[in-house]
Amino acid sequence: MTTVQLTEKSNNDDIVRRKRMKKHCCDYMNYHANFTCDIHNNPFDCPDNLILFDKTNKEYGLIIHDGGSSIIGISFCPWCGKKL
């Protein structure tokens, strides 16, 4: 999991809080968008691969496991409901 640390200081400069920003909206989406199968090279062949994330366009899609290479684009996370 790739995280970025941001430092935020209070007005007193005594307290420093660190926040972690995830690459995706929630842990479930992070897991499924970054999923790699040890058995199948093609994500459309793996029944455990549910989400296809296009890193170039930052678009998400649900993989249709019908023997082809179809996806349905999604705009909201199926697990947490946040806008993607």
Long-range pairs for 56-62: beta carbons < 8 A, 24 or more residues apart: 60/29, 60/33, 60/84
Q: Is-above-0.95 flag for pTM?
A: no
> Chain-wide mean pLDDT for the chain?
80
pLDDT tens digits, one per residue of 40-58:
999 999 999 999 999 898 8
Whether pLDDT at 1 is above 60: no
Torsion angles phi and psi, residue 29, rounded to 5 = -65, -40
pLDDT at res. 3: 39
Which are the contacts of 75, defined by CB distance < 8 A and separation ≥ 6? 83, 84
pLDDT at 49: 96
